[in-house]
Amino acid sequence: MSATTKRKLRDGQRGVSAVILAIVMVILMGGAALGFDIAKLAYEKQALRVAVDAAAQAGAYALPDAPLATSDAKKFLVESAPDLDLDASSLVVSLYCAVATKAGTTLPDESQVPGICNPGTAWSKGGAAAGCNTQMCLLPCGGSGAACNTIKVSYEKTVYFSFAPAIGIATGSTGAIASASCKGMCGALAPNPLDIVVMADRTPSMNNGTSAFANMKQSLKDMLVTMNRDQQLVAFGTIAKSVPTAGCLSAEPKGGNAFAENPPTRATNLSKVAQNNKLWTFNGNWVPVGYSSNYTTGSSTAGTLAVNTASNIYKAIDCLDYSDGTVDYPAASSGYKNTTNEGTHLAAALKGAARYLINTPDSGGSLPDRSAYGTPKKVIVFETDGAPSELFNSDDSAISLGNSYDIGYTGGSDVGNGKAQSCENLKDIADLVKAQGIKIIVIGVGDVNTANCGTGEVRDVLASVASPKSSGTASDAVDCTINGNTVKENSDGDNYFCAASASDLSSVFAAAVASITGNTKFVKVPGVSD
């Protein structure tokens, strides 16, 4: 073979090798490019999942304020993944009511509507749920009267490729990434150990010629069925104090025996008590029925859950009567005897409830071991229909959780019913109570909607007392006797709940107790959020 021929053959081989190499390089580069873009798609999908979960949690925390929940979800979506260049307006938001699944069925437990969650006009009893699992059903929620507890968010992102367009693939999609989160009691009760003192107002104003007092008692009984006896201990107190009797577990002290005097000097029409005698207290107990866990019988799973009519707390509520007696006390202004009802000493009552929570062990042979559920939260559920009214002198040292002195008038010229001194005392005690880590839930009914407290409104004082903020700053309380305001007030997150009348108390009590958890959690319900 000539040299020329050999040279031509070598040149041909080089040409083929170059072509093959070029083809291989294209394949390798295409594969690398495709791998890069696939990795980019996988990364953005995972990052989007994190952002959507954050959006759902943020939105749920703001519920039941639907506009705020929606805006918070969109805000957290963008802020959780700044490198994804997400468009908040493309986030799809849906609202639901999570209620328990009725035992033995795949239907919603309609008894939780509207107390636990109010779906508004988007759903009515007898309607179909959006989806159910073994623990909860999600009901469509929205429209007039809605107070939703669950938010679902969904986002689908188009990912623009860097190299794949060379092989005709310009973009990829993450697919619709969805997440749903619920706030509060979502269907079946989650682990939530609580020590609860329920304080019920039975002052004469509750006997206003209507069925208010009977409705309040029924509300308290209904409330017991919303609790979990394995996790939550409940004690019962009254405003004013009560003393045990043989015929009934709770009855108010009467007449001249209403007060313990220190020193033991009784004011009369002719003999007055020195103004420096400021350590008067009511006889009786602020919390006459201690912790119990036997307030229900049966099982929610089996559909047999019911209030235990043999329990001490049920008996105390059932036989409870409003305060109809009069008491003698030394008038703060003169020291001479005055005779009237015992007033509405809200600061003293709140102090008494807090001292019970702080000083009473939650253990005992008849009480459940709740260590598996975590450390119990301490809660006061405080129901009242009136302005604070303090009748007798009280030393400044009574504004403390460290002694048992009842709180009364401490100076100035605004002593008596609906005056600023009593309201300031209540707020001062509330600050001390919350500093102990105790949560205060206040339920106002009837006269609190319109009554004054010095120059301000009683409802604003009660909202401040219930505010979860250490400063006491709360949403402006509204008059719940005005149509539409009840839902507004009971969904603003300040732990103050109101009822236009006592007939609404059952649903308000249920909503208040459900709010105690305050937690959010992801939910998965077939057909809604898988």
Q: Where do the structural domains in the chain lie, given as residue ranges? A: 18-183, 197-514
**414 confidence band (pLDDT: 50, 70, 90):** very low
- Cβ atoms of 118 and 63 closer than 8 Å: no
In Å, what is the CA distance from 474 to each residue of 66, 194, 521? 19, 24, 25
Q: What's the whole-model pTM score? A: 0.66
User: Sign of the CA dihedral 15, 21, 23, 25?
Assistant: negative
Q: What is the pLDDT of residues 355-413, one digit of tens each?
A: 999 998 876 667 888 887 788 889 999 988 877 877 766 777 888 999 888 887 655 55
- Cβ atoms of 46 and 83 closer than 8 Å: no
Q: Is the pLDDT of residue 310 over 80?
A: yes
**pLDDT at res. 385:** 82
**415 confidence band (pLDDT: 50, 70, 90):** very low
* Cα–Cα distance, 155 to 136 (Å, whole number): 24
Cα 107 off chain centre by: 25
Topology of 197-514 in CATH?
Rossmann fold (3.40.50)
Q: What is the pLDDT of residues 202-257, one digit of tens each?
A: 887 777 656 778 888 888 888 888 788 888 899 999 988 887 776 676 666 655 55
Q: Is the pLDDT of residue 38 over 60?
A: yes
Q: What is the pLDDT of residues 53-87, one digit of tens each?
A: 888 988 887 888 899 899 989 988 888 788 888 99
Structure token digits, residue 484: 């539409």
**pLDDT at res. 362:** 78
* Cα–Cα distance, 79 to 70 (Å, whole number): 14
